[in-house]
Chain A
Amino acid sequence: MSTHTSNQQVDALQLHNVETKGGTIACLSAIRWLTSLSVLGLFSVLIGVGCLTVGAQPISFETVLQIVGMVLQEGRVDHESAGVSGVILLQVRFPRIVLAFLVGGSLAAVGVGLQALLRNPLAEPYVLGISSGAAFGATLGILFGIGGTVMGLSALPVWAFLGGLLSILVVYRISVTYRMLSVHTLLLAGVILNALFSALIMFAISIADPSRAFKMMMWLMGTLNAPEYSTLLWLGVFLGVGVFLLFWLARPLNILTMGEETARALGVEIERVKKLIFVVAALMTGAVVSIAGLIGFVGMVVPHTVRMIVGADHRLLLPASTLVGGMFLMVADTVARTVLAPTELPVGVVTALVGGPIFLYLLMKRRAGVAL
């Protein structure tokens, strides 16, 4: 080998070496993380307060602030000075809006986790049939009156959790078996699970007594009712822990989106991560479904939108999606309870009306071969 030729080739290499500035990689910085989440947090509060003012009985912004100030200062509300508005705000709207935030945020967070795990941006607890599995579990609980209470709490979430876990295992088994077909097979599996569980639920409803059947129907369509503060508290803690666990897995989730083999080659303990995500997703979906019924598409539309804005890094995507999911459902529920006031729509109808078309659009875009 002559040195002459290798020098020539080195020159050729340098020709290609166009000078570029810096060379540092724009990665997620703590500042960007903090700013993005602070802005979203601020928006969440503003939208929450905005939703407090809207309703069958409009309550002015000043009154809301006045009552909030009263609660913050005295820790309680003087019913005489607050009046009817105070009761509506504190007993009905506030807990319901907080519930909407918790449910929406959890659904979005679970959606993000499942999407990373299944490498599919359309994955979501409702679409995959996990929610209806949970609903089926809960229906069984209601129908047979099994469970009753565990440690003072309703056993319904336990049943919902078991149902959700069952569907999640079926879905995962299918996605592993038919790895190459995953996108469509997975959706198909979800459709079939949904149909199957719906049939079983309808069967349960048809043999239940009419007044109970109506309540079950409303619940299945996804309805938020003002909860007791104690319920809100345990739900908040429970879902908060779930979301925290998912945040904790943000880095492994990033790498899992490259596929299981690559993830393992990069040192991810995939079995542990997968199990954790499954259990957390099933637990959170179970809790959400047992309290709010079937609310679809939040877990798909929200992460998709957020991903387009903040990028794919789960360290930011997960918390941002959680906040946006919370905001989305607060607004959706406010629409649901006001658009036909005094009659209320189930919030699941609103989210399906918004999410369904977006889902179809994404599916068609995928089929056309455009990367999401």
Chain B
Amino acid sequence: MKKTSGQPLAFDVRELSFRYDLSPERSWAFRNLQCSIETGTIVGVIGPNGSGKTSLLKLLMGLLRPESGAVHLFGQDLRTLSPAKIAQQIAFVPQETSQVFPFTLGELVLMGRYPFHQPFDGWGWDSSDDVNRASQAMKDLEIESLADRMMSDVSGGERQRAMIARALTQDPQILLLDEPTAFLDLYHQLDIARKLRRLNHDRGLTVVMVSHDLNLASQCCDQLLLLHQGEIVKRGCPHEVIRPEILEPVYRCEIIVDQHPRSNAPRVSLPV
């Protein structure tokens, strides 16, 4: 919400092209994509299935490498930064997490401190600072009582909150989330949305989230990025993007937009 001109851009994507397979027949996922994300904003990436939302998130994080062009993180080319340096600034919450080995949720959350250890620092105990940060993050997400439980023993929502707690344990400046509320019930959807807003407000955390939930995105985000077939069709505040004439061609269905009774944010519903 607050304007933060003067600060370097959190992300500056320049002329980015990317495809999943380098063979020339494969179509481009992104072709000469340009976009920037201002520091301190909450940005929602929306768009239909296969529009490249998750790919964009992974490109921003350096998990996928662009074929040409570059992503700049606070003015620095992502390619010049080590994975640990990136992880000190950006935390990523994937859509789904599977676990093969019996780590406790507490141990999983503590993994968020890894980027702050020396490279290849295989040993060493978790410092009390590490443990405190992880405990605080678990408290913030109300899962501190589950610290000794295994991931397979907890609900999808609790799992998701553990992953967000791990991301917060990284103490990042930027949080990237892929469908953060996909497995959550209403209470926890609301709760996560509020926590994100509060983190954004209190710490100036920049949030980029991919969401299928247009209403959540509309309520929660300062800026929306509508993706369609690897192109940014529209970008702007929710009032500018959540409009039938913009959404209908992209989602290929009739969309009714009215106002949220309390927040006045545009609200999407479908005709049946």
Interface set of A (CB-CB < 8 Å, partner B): 1, 5, 9, 12-13, 16-18, 20, 23-30, 115-116, 119-121, 247-252, 254-255, 257-259, 261-262, 264-270, 272, 307-308, 311-313, 315, 371-372
Contact = CB atoms under 8 A, between A and B. Distances in A.
B244 to A, nearest CB: 26
Given A16-B142, A312-B107, A307 B102 contact: yes
A24 B135 contact: yes
Interface stretch (B78-86, B220-228, B229-237, B248-256): B78-86
Contact of B123 (A26, A115, A315, A371): A315
Contact of A247 (B119, B122, B152): B122
Interface residues of B, number: 60
Given A23-B144, A258-B111, A251 B122 contact: yes
Contact of A29 (B102, B103, B125, B191): B125
Contacts of A250: 122-123
A23 B63 contact: no
B117 interface: yes
Nearest to A318: B122
5 contacts: A25-B134, A27-B131, A258-B108, A269-B82, A269-B119
A1 B261 CA distance: 10
A115 B187 CA distance: 38
B148 A26 contact: yes
B125 A30 contact: yes
A119 B104 CA distance: 16
A307 B104 CA distance: 12
A186 B188 CA distance: 38
B209 to A, nearest CB: 15
B96 to A, nearest CB: 10
A331 to B, nearest CB: 26
Interface string B149-180: 00010000000000000000010000000000
Interface string B90-108: 1110100111111110111
A262 B107 contact: no
A1 B219 CA distance: 12
A91 to B, nearest CB: 38
Contacts of A18: 145
Contacts of B262: 1, 5
B245 interface: no
B121 interface: yes
A26 B83 contact: no
Contacts of B148: 26
A29 B131 CA distance: 11
Contact of B114 (A20, A255, A307, A372): A255
A16 B125 CA distance: 33
Contacts of B139: 23
Contacts of B123: 247-248, 250-251, 315
B101 A266 contact: no
Contact of A265 (B63, B102, B117, B144): B63
B194 to A, nearest CB: 8
A254 B125 contact: no
A119 B100 contact: yes
B94 to A, nearest CB: 6
B210 interface: no
Given A23-B139, A28-B126, 13 more contacts: A5-B262, A250-B123, A252-B120, A252-B122, A257-B100, A258-B99, A266-B111, A267-B87, A270-B83, A311-B102, A312-B101, A312-B107, A372-B100
A177 B62 CA distance: 21
A270 B83 CA distance: 9
A249 B126 contact: no
Contact of B63 (A255, A264, A307): A264
**Minimum-distance CB pairs A-B, first 7:** A267-B87, A267-B115, A25-B106, A267-B84, A312-B101, A248-B122, A265-B92
A322 to B, nearest CB: 15
Residue among A252, A255, A265 with most chain B CB within 10 A: A265
B101 A307 contact: yes
A23 B135 contact: yes
B100 A121 contact: yes
Contacts of A247: 122-123
A245 to B, nearest CB: 9
Contacts of A259: 97-98
Contact of B191 (A13, A116, A265, A269): A13
B138 A17 contact: no
B111 A25 contact: no
A26 B125 CA distance: 12
A25 B109 contact: yes
A23 B120 CA distance: 29
A121 B63 contact: no
A249 B134 CA distance: 22
Nearest to A245: B122
B28 to A, nearest CB: 22
A127 to B, nearest CB: 16
B71 to A, nearest CB: 15
Contacts of B87: 265-267
Given A251-B122, A268-B114, A261 B63 contact: yes
Contact of B107 (A16, A23, A272, A313): A313
Given A249-B122, A258-B97, A265-B61, A26 B88 contact: no
B263 interface: yes
Nearest to A311: B102
B114 A311 contact: no
Contacts of B134: 25
B120 A248 contact: yes
Contacts of A28: 125-126
B83 A23 contact: no
Contact of B97 (A17, A262, A307): A262
B115 A25 contact: no
B193 to A, nearest CB: 11
B100 A120 contact: yes
